[in-house]
Structures are given as C-alpha cells and as structure tokens.
Amino acid sequence: MRNNEMTHLAKRAVRDSFVKLAPREQAKNPVMLMVYLSAILTLVLFVLSLFGITDSQPGFIIAISAVLWLTVLFANFAEALAEGRGKAQADSLRAAKRDVPAHKLNEGLVAKGHHVDDPAEFFRLQADEVSSAVLKKKDLFYVAAGEQIPADGEIVIGAASVDESAITGESAPVIRESGGDRSAVTGGTTVLSDWLVVRVTADAGHSFLDQMIAMVESATRKKTPNEIALEILLVALTIVFLIVSVSLFAFSGFSANQEGIANPTTITSLVALFVCLAPTTIGALLSAIGIAGMSRLNRANVLAMSGRAVEAAGDVDVLLLDKTGTITLGNRQAAEFIPVDGATEHDVADAAQLASLTDETPEGRSIVVLAKERFGIRARELEGSGMVSIPFTAQTRMSGVDFEGHEIRKGAADAVKDYVESHGGAYSGECAAVVADVSRAGGTPLLVARDHRILGVIHLKDIVKQGIKENFADLRTMGIKTVMITGDNPMTAAAIAAEAGVDDFIAEATPETKLAAIRQYQAEGHMVAMTGDGTNDAPALAQADVAVAMNSGTQAAKEAGNMVDLDSSPTKLIDVVRIGKQLLMTRGSLTTFSIANDLAKYFAIVPALFVPLYPQLEALNIMHLTNPYTAIMAAIIYNALIIVALIPLALRGVKYREASSQSLLSRNLLVYGLGGIVLPFVVIKLLDMMLTALGVA
C-alpha cells in the first residue's frame, strides 16, 4: 500500500477512534468496556481528589486516568485502521456502481428476436430505455459494445467480450455467452464487443456489487462463532479479575484495620491492577484481527459471504479439487509420436502435422509444434496446394486432409479403427497395445492413418501444472487431504493423481458422486472445501463447509457457495485455506501473548501494593521496582503501549507456515508464550527506571 494511502487511512482511523468513544460503540466489546468504565471512574476520582475527598494524589490519579483513556483510544484505533481498509475498498467499488441507462425488453420481443435477420438491431430498436435502478429480478435487457451492464444477470442470447476490471482488477477481457457455465454477468462491468440479452437475477440494492460493498465495510461484519467463544472466555477472565481486585481491596482494608495503619491500597491503584490483569491486549485487538483477515481475503479477490466461512477455511482438512484447470492446465498437449506396424516416427509426425494444419484447438496446435520441434517439419501452405481440409465433427470424431491423392486422418482410436476397417484396412494387435498403454498412463491416444493404413499413435497428455505437486506436499504437512475430482475413467484418473501427488481421487464424477463424497467426509468428522462454477456443482457447493464459486460461473453456483472468487481461478481455494489458517494462527498467537503478559504485570503490581501489609511479598518483587507509584504507572503504560506495538501484527497476520498443528502449537508457545512473559519484565523495568529518573514519587 502506498505511503499516501496509509497516511489517509491513519488520519481516518484517528478520527474514528474518538467517534468510537460513544458508549454504544464501547458496549460492543465487553473487555474494553470495562477499561472504558475504569477510565471514567478514575476521571471522577481525580475531580473528587481536587476537593480532598479521596486519599490518592491528584497527579497520580490523573496520570492513571490519562493512560486508561489512551488504552481505549489505542484499541479503537486498531479497529478503525482495520475497518479503514474495508471502507477504502468499498469507496472504490461505489465509484464503479452508478445508475446507468438500461435497454429493457419484454419476454415477447425476446422470443420474436430469435427469428429476425438482425437480432441486435431489432433489440436495439425495440428496447425501452430506463434507469438501471428500476430493473427488477427476471426483467430482460439488451446491452451492446461500449455500454455498462446495468444489473447482475444470466445471458439469455448472445456472446460478448466483457471488461470486468472494475470488479476483479484484472485488465484482460473475458468471454461471456449464453448457456453453459460462463453465462453470468455482473452489474458495473462493461461490454467491449458484440451484444447480449440478459435476464436480471438480483433486484436493485441486492446486486453482487452491493453485496461486495456491504461485506468489505467492516461495520456490517458479524462476529464468527469462534470469535464469540473467545470473547466469552475473555469476559469470564475479566469478571474473575474484577472479583479478585475487589477481594484484594477488602482484604487490604481488613488487614490495615487489624494492624491499626492506613490502607496502602487505593481505588485508583486497584483499578490499575484490574486493567493490567484483565486480557485487555487481545480484547483490544480481537476485532481488528477478524476484520484484517476478511480484508486479506478481499485483497485476494475473494468475496466471503460470512466470517464463518473464513474461519471454516482455517479448519479445513479435506480439499476437493477439479482436475481440469486446477491440477492440470486443461489443454491436452501432444507428448510423443508412437509408430506401429513398420512405420517410422517421422512418418507419424509428418502425417499428424498435415492433419492438424487447420485444427485451431490447443491439441491441434501442439501436434504441429511437436512435429516441428522433434523433426524440423514445417507447416505447409494450404493455398494453391490442392489440399482439402476435413474438419472435425462430433459424428466422425476425426479430422484430416485430402492431399495429392492421399487421405490422412487423425482422431479417436475407435473412430479411426472403424474408418480404416471400413476401407479394407487393419487394426493390429500392436496398435491396440499402444492405445491401451497410453490410456493406462493417463493420456489420450489419437490414431493417425494415411490411405487407410494406421501409421501410429499421438500421445496427448493433460499437463500437470508446475509447482502443484509441491503445493499438495505443503498441504499434506498441514494435515490437509487433497482429493482430485474428474470425469475421466479410473485408469486415467489414477495416472494423473499419481503424477500430481494428490492423496485420493474421484473418477467419472457426477453431481451425485460429489455430493455423496462431501457428506461421507463430513460424517467422518472432516471439514470439507471445494470449488465449482456450474449449476450442476450447486448441490455439492451448498453442502461443503467452504464453497468457493467462480465469479464467471452460473448464478446458481454463486448462490450455493459461501465465497466467490472474482478472478475465477480454480487454484484460489488453496490460497483461501492459507488465509483462513493465518487468521486462526494470528488470533491464537496474540491470545497466548496477551494471557502470558498478565504474569509479568502480576509480579510488577501485586508486591508493590501489598508489601506494606504483607512484608513476605517482598520475595515476589523480583524486578525491584522503585515504589508502588512507579510500579503501577510502568505496568499501566506498558499495557497501553503493547496494543499499539501489536497493531501491525494484527493487521498483517502472523507469518504463515506449512506445518503440523503440533509443530505450530509448540512454536506458538515458545515465541508468543515465552515472549509474552519475558517482554513485559524487560519493558516494565525500563519504564520504572525512566519514571524514577523523571522524579515520579
């Protein structure tokens, strides 16, 4: 984040820190509410001390009160700074959201438009121009190149290039078209080419952009179950220390009366003791940690529909991942030419390249490239050569060329086998064995034939993404099981699963098998995450604990998921899990540190307060602090400053590490547990020395 942006956020957070002093805002955080009330109480005691009503020194009381007010402001600042990031993102989204003209159509016109010669011109002329704010769910509208899409919807007719940079930040345009799993469009994006007829899927004020703005604005964020549970624990500890502080005041008063001396403890000093012993550090930062976790997810271009989903991501131990586009590149590439029945590899490559010259699929282009790289065979010009291209069709499942009296074909093994045999050719046992070997290895065999004689096999291989195996190894270290989902046959699925390093796979997957697998894992006590983009993925997404729907997918998928990936990147699920785990690690680490802090503050204040009554407590004064005033002031100042010191860590998050839960716990206790004990001893002693040097009585 740039310096000027950080300066703006900091100024905004300082202003909001004072706004949050309102009692209604403070009541949202029970732990800090007690500090807030303590600050008010000490301010009242200061006023009373000016009239000689209390027995504490006015200077000491106002100093304690000032530090307590600063403690409350620092806690407010941490939360306001975390919220500021969300508000800044919301402001940029609002800039993208504005009322624009919409070309509304009625159902009858759309049906009629299917049968006219120029549908685009027909829809343009027949549409009624209205404001996008009046569009309702199920309304139809027409949008053309250069126009902003006025509302969320599903494409009914047409295909177009769409600029989604206002939503995703990705400058490259994407193709959206009717039918299939790429039919959803988002209001606020812009059509770059062609035209679309779209059916509205969300009323004004409830669009996807509206949901994004509501989610990134921290004010609308609800506390998660884990956060609520931790808050209950912190409240319980606060009540315990409140009872302890009141009891100590009563004991000291009783002991002072028995000894016939004045009570050395005062209400001000006991208020300071209570604030120092209560878990104020984590209480002050708890909300900021949760907001910052959501913000990190938003910066990764993932919209979480609830904080619960982010926490669930941290607890996930089973990942269901689509093979195509996630584990593999999704485009099968030619890996080798395998000759059969006396042909040479060069013969196979030459014929395969000729048959692929007009094949614009990634597979076809890879065959041409492989032939060139392997044998230096260059593509021949078609123009003027008499070459006749035979396009691929779903019926023949073959393509090829007729060239200089020769017929060259390439295609699926069974299709080429039938073609050759129907023209008197033979399908040999050697060829059948090679086809079986390629299939067993997880590849796709394409046969190449010249003049009804099979020359060999092209091995098409689905390329596993670089680095994905290492990713899965890291996840395994964290105790997360990876499961590949594919429609391939079990033999092919097993080969790719072994190469990618996944723990398990589901072959020949259907929507029913995905749903059944998720339910089975959940019944065994696992937390399951998966991605999806199609309507057929919706049941499984609705069942999964963490369900990341692709923004480019169908409305049904987005409604079923509890997260939406604006970049529509299937591998984003791995990042989501890491962000969720980092959130839980940060919360756990700072909670450990906060509670460990109390031990040092106990040794600082309790001996200083009660040594006059119980001289034996001098043995606990291991820091040898100067006097009760400097001891209490040093502890209460440290209590305030540590909140400020930990704000960057709360916002950035504890550094994520791929390790087992036991390893993370051990490191957490060593760094934040032991560090939480040692640091206060050092800082409080230094503060005591500084206060003594300044002449604090």
Select which of 139, 322, 350, 567 is catalytic: 322
Phi/psi of residue 486, nearest 5 degrees: -150, 155
Do 510 and 534 meet the contact criterion of CB atoms below 8 Å apart?
no
Strand partners, 445: 459
> Which of 169, 202, 188, 165 shows the shortest CA–CA distance to 95?
188
Phi/psi of residue 399, nearest 5 degrees: -145, 170
- Known binding residue 274? Answer is no
Do 87 and 31 meet the contact criterion of CB atoms below 8 Å apart?
no
Phi/psi of residue 549, nearest 5 degrees: -95, 145
Cα distances (angstroms) measured from residue 386 to each of 360, 380, 382, 400, 404:
20, 12, 7, 14, 7
Give the tokens for residue 417. 């086998």
- Known binding residue 618? Answer is no
- Known binding residue 486? Answer is no
SS (H, E, C) 449-511: EECCEEEEEEEEEEEECCCHHHHHHHHHHCCCEEEEECCCCHHHHHHHHHHHCCCEEECCCCH
Give the tokens for residue 584. 């839980």
CA distance 464 to 117: 45
Distance from the Cα of residue 129 to its chain's centroid: 39
- Known binding residue 363? Answer is yes
How many residues are there in the chain?
A: 697
SS (H, E, C) 286-308: HHHHHHHHHHHHHHCCEEECCHH
Sheet order of strands, 546-550 included: 302-304, 563-565, 546-550, 528-532, 318-322, 481-485, 504-506
Cα distances (angstroms) measured from residue 38 to each of 32, 271, 631:
10, 7, 19
Residues 6+ apart with CB under 8 A from 534: 180, 181, 553, 554, 557
- Known binding residue 281? Answer is no
- Known binding residue 688? Answer is no
- Known binding residue 554? Answer is no
**Measured in Å, how far apart are the chain's first and last C-alpha atoms?**
45
- Known binding residue 537? Answer is yes
CA distance 609 to 174: 69
Residues 6+ apart with CB under 8 A from 17: 73, 76, 77, 80
- Region class of 515: left (phi > 0), else alpha (psi between -120 and 50), else beta: alpha
Do 73 and 39 meet the contact criterion of CB atoms below 8 Å apart?
no
- Known binding residue 394? Answer is yes
- Known binding residue 395? Answer is yes
Give the tokens for residue 321. 């991942």
CA distance 229 to 211: 27
- Known binding residue 398? Answer is yes
- Region class of 169: left (phi > 0), else alpha (psi between -120 and 50), else beta: left
CA distance 8 to 109: 51
- Known binding residue 359? Answer is yes
CA distance 567 to 575: 12
Cα three-residue angle 664-669-673, rounded to 5 degrees? 145
**Catalytic annotation present for 565:** no
Q: Which residues are annotated as a binding site for Mg(2+)?
A: 533, 537
Residues assigned a catalytic role: 322
Q: Which residues are annotated as a binding site for ATP?
A: 359, 363, 392-399, 410
Q: Which residues are annotated as a binding site?
A: 359, 363, 392-399, 410, 533, 537
